[in-house]
Amino acid sequence: MTTTATHTEMVLRPPTIADGAAIHALIKACPPLDLNSAYAYLLLCHHFADTCVVAERSGTIVGYVSGYVPPAQPDVFFIWQVAVHERGRGLGLGQGMLRHLLERPAASRSRYVETTVSPSNGPSRAMFQRLAASLGTALQETALFTTDMFGPGAAHEDETLLRIGPFSLD
Protein backbone atom coordinates (compact mmCIF):
# COMPACT_ATOMS: atom_id res chain seq x y z
CA MET A 1 0.00 0.00 0.00
CA THR A 2 1.36 3.40 -0.94
CA THR A 3 0.53 6.27 1.35
CA THR A 4 0.73 9.90 0.37
CA ALA A 5 0.63 13.16 2.22
CA THR A 6 0.41 16.68 0.91
CA HIS A 7 2.70 19.57 1.77
CA THR A 8 1.34 22.80 0.28
CA GLU A 9 0.97 21.82 -3.40
CA MET A 10 3.29 18.85 -3.05
CA VAL A 11 2.59 15.16 -2.84
CA LEU A 12 5.02 13.33 -0.56
CA ARG A 13 5.35 9.62 -1.25
CA PRO A 14 7.78 6.71 -1.21
CA PRO A 15 9.92 6.53 -4.35
CA THR A 16 9.56 3.75 -6.90
CA ILE A 17 12.20 2.42 -9.27
CA ALA A 18 10.49 4.42 -12.02
CA ASP A 19 11.70 7.54 -10.13
CA GLY A 20 15.39 6.58 -10.16
CA ALA A 21 16.44 8.58 -13.23
CA ALA A 22 14.49 11.67 -12.13
CA ILE A 23 16.08 11.50 -8.66
CA HIS A 24 19.53 11.23 -10.26
CA ALA A 25 18.75 14.33 -12.38
CA LEU A 26 17.46 16.20 -9.31
CA ILE A 27 20.62 15.49 -7.31
CA LYS A 28 22.73 16.60 -10.29
CA ALA A 29 20.79 19.91 -10.30
CA CYS A 30 21.40 20.47 -6.57
CA PRO A 31 25.06 21.17 -5.92
CA PRO A 32 26.92 20.75 -3.60
CA LEU A 33 25.30 17.34 -3.15
CA ASP A 34 27.46 14.39 -4.15
CA LEU A 35 26.05 12.77 -7.27
CA ASN A 36 25.94 9.01 -6.99
CA SER A 37 25.36 6.66 -9.90
CA ALA A 38 21.88 6.25 -11.36
CA TYR A 39 22.18 2.62 -10.24
CA ALA A 40 22.61 3.74 -6.61
CA TYR A 41 19.37 5.76 -6.78
CA LEU A 42 17.54 2.81 -8.36
CA LEU A 43 18.72 0.62 -5.47
CA LEU A 44 17.62 3.21 -2.90
CA CYS A 45 14.17 3.34 -4.52
CA HIS A 46 13.94 -0.45 -4.61
CA HIS A 47 15.46 -1.40 -1.24
CA PHE A 48 14.78 1.67 0.91
CA ALA A 49 11.48 3.11 -0.31
CA ASP A 50 10.15 2.97 3.26
CA THR A 51 12.90 5.31 4.47
CA CYS A 52 13.09 7.63 1.44
CA VAL A 53 10.61 10.18 0.12
CA VAL A 54 10.00 12.10 -3.08
CA ALA A 55 8.08 15.35 -3.36
CA GLU A 56 6.08 15.78 -6.54
CA ARG A 57 4.48 18.89 -7.92
CA SER A 58 2.34 18.48 -11.04
CA GLY A 59 3.92 15.08 -11.72
CA THR A 60 7.50 16.39 -11.49
CA ILE A 61 9.87 15.37 -8.71
CA VAL A 62 11.11 18.54 -7.01
CA GLY A 63 12.34 17.04 -3.74
CA TYR A 64 13.97 13.90 -2.43
CA VAL A 65 15.31 12.61 0.86
CA SER A 66 17.20 9.36 1.22
CA GLY A 67 17.57 7.77 4.60
CA TYR A 68 17.87 4.49 6.41
CA VAL A 69 17.99 2.90 9.84
CA PRO A 70 21.53 1.61 10.48
CA PRO A 71 21.31 -2.11 11.35
CA ALA A 72 23.38 -1.73 14.53
CA GLN A 73 21.49 1.41 15.64
CA PRO A 74 17.73 0.79 15.47
CA ASP A 75 17.00 4.04 17.35
CA VAL A 76 18.76 6.17 14.70
CA PHE A 77 17.29 7.44 11.44
CA PHE A 78 20.22 8.39 9.20
CA ILE A 79 19.56 11.00 6.52
CA TRP A 80 21.87 10.52 3.54
CA GLN A 81 20.77 13.25 1.13
CA VAL A 82 18.18 16.02 1.07
CA ALA A 83 17.53 17.66 -2.28
CA VAL A 84 15.05 20.39 -3.15
CA HIS A 85 14.97 21.72 -6.70
CA GLU A 86 15.01 25.51 -7.01
CA ARG A 87 11.32 25.33 -8.07
CA GLY A 88 10.48 23.87 -4.64
CA ARG A 89 12.64 26.09 -2.44
CA GLY A 90 11.34 28.55 0.09
CA LEU A 91 8.31 26.40 1.00
CA GLY A 92 9.76 24.48 3.94
CA LEU A 93 9.82 21.38 1.77
CA GLY A 94 13.03 19.98 3.25
CA GLN A 95 11.49 20.15 6.75
CA GLY A 96 8.23 18.72 5.46
CA MET A 97 9.94 15.72 3.88
CA LEU A 98 12.03 15.06 7.01
CA ARG A 99 8.99 15.22 9.29
CA HIS A 100 7.05 13.02 6.86
CA LEU A 101 9.78 10.37 7.06
CA LEU A 102 9.89 10.51 10.86
CA GLU A 103 6.14 9.85 10.99
CA ARG A 104 6.40 6.66 8.92
CA PRO A 105 6.34 3.21 10.57
CA ALA A 106 9.95 2.60 9.45
CA ALA A 107 11.05 5.39 11.82
CA SER A 108 8.85 4.39 14.76
CA ARG A 109 11.82 3.32 16.93
CA SER A 110 13.89 6.41 16.07
CA ARG A 111 15.01 8.62 18.93
CA TYR A 112 17.85 10.27 17.01
CA VAL A 113 18.37 11.69 13.53
CA GLU A 114 21.91 11.62 12.21
CA THR A 115 23.36 13.06 9.04
CA THR A 116 26.65 14.33 7.72
CA VAL A 117 27.07 17.87 6.42
CA SER A 118 30.11 19.66 5.05
CA PRO A 119 31.17 22.82 6.90
CA SER A 120 30.34 25.08 3.93
CA ASN A 121 26.78 23.82 3.44
CA GLY A 122 25.00 26.53 5.43
CA PRO A 123 21.48 25.85 4.12
CA SER A 124 21.65 22.19 5.11
CA ARG A 125 23.05 23.00 8.53
CA ALA A 126 20.26 25.53 9.10
CA MET A 127 17.61 23.01 8.02
CA PHE A 128 18.85 20.44 10.56
CA GLN A 129 19.07 23.11 13.28
CA ARG A 130 15.40 23.93 12.55
CA LEU A 131 14.54 20.22 12.71
CA ALA A 132 16.18 19.91 16.14
CA ALA A 133 14.28 22.97 17.36
CA SER A 134 10.98 21.62 16.03
CA LEU A 135 11.62 18.33 17.83
CA GLY A 136 12.48 20.23 21.03
CA THR A 137 15.93 18.69 21.32
CA ALA A 138 19.62 19.35 20.87
CA LEU A 139 21.90 19.12 17.84
CA GLN A 140 25.43 17.89 18.49
CA GLU A 141 28.31 18.01 16.03
CA THR A 142 31.31 15.67 15.90
CA ALA A 143 34.00 15.00 13.31
CA LEU A 144 33.32 11.91 11.22
CA PHE A 145 34.89 11.87 7.75
CA THR A 146 37.95 14.02 7.11
CA THR A 147 39.04 15.18 3.65
CA ASP A 148 41.91 12.69 3.52
CA MET A 149 39.51 9.75 3.98
CA PHE A 150 38.03 10.41 0.53
CA GLY A 151 41.31 9.40 -1.11
CA PRO A 152 44.26 11.10 -2.73
CA GLY A 153 43.28 13.97 -4.99
CA ALA A 154 39.62 13.89 -3.97
CA ALA A 155 38.16 17.37 -3.84
CA HIS A 156 35.84 16.75 -0.92
CA GLU A 157 35.33 18.69 2.29
CA ASP A 158 35.15 17.13 5.71
CA GLU A 159 31.77 15.65 6.61
CA THR A 160 30.67 16.49 10.13
CA LEU A 161 28.21 14.19 11.90
CA LEU A 162 25.11 16.03 13.12
CA ARG A 163 23.14 14.13 15.78
CA ILE A 164 19.68 15.35 16.76
CA GLY A 165 18.01 13.91 19.83
CA PRO A 166 16.87 12.26 21.84
CA PHE A 167 13.27 12.92 20.87
CA SER A 168 9.93 11.18 21.01
CA LEU A 169 7.25 11.47 18.37
CA ASP A 170 4.60 9.78 20.51
Low-confidence residues in the chain, pLDDT < 50: 1-3, 6-8
Whole-number Å distance between alpha carbons of 130 and 113:
13
Strand, helix or coil at 159?
Answer: strand
Quick: pLDDT tens for 40-89.
Answer: 999 999 999 999 999 999 899 999 999 999 999 999 999 999 999 998 88
Which of these CATH numbers, 1.10.287.1080, 3.40.630.30, 2.40.50.140, 3.30.70.1230, describes 5-164? 3.40.630.30
Which pLDDT does position 54 carry in this prediction?
A: 98
Which pLDDT does position 4 carry in this prediction?
A: 52
**Helix residue ranges, H only, 19-163:** 20-28, 38-47, 93-102, 122-134
pTM of the model: 0.90
Which pLDDT does position 3 carry in this prediction?
A: 45
Whole-number Å distance between alpha carbons of 113 and 76:
6
The CA radius of gyration of the chain, in Å to the nearest whole number, is 15
Domain residue ranges of the chain, discontinuous segments joined by +: 5-164
Which pLDDT does position 30 carry in this prediction?
A: 93
Q: Is the dihedral of CA 73, 163, 123, 154 positive or negative?
A: negative
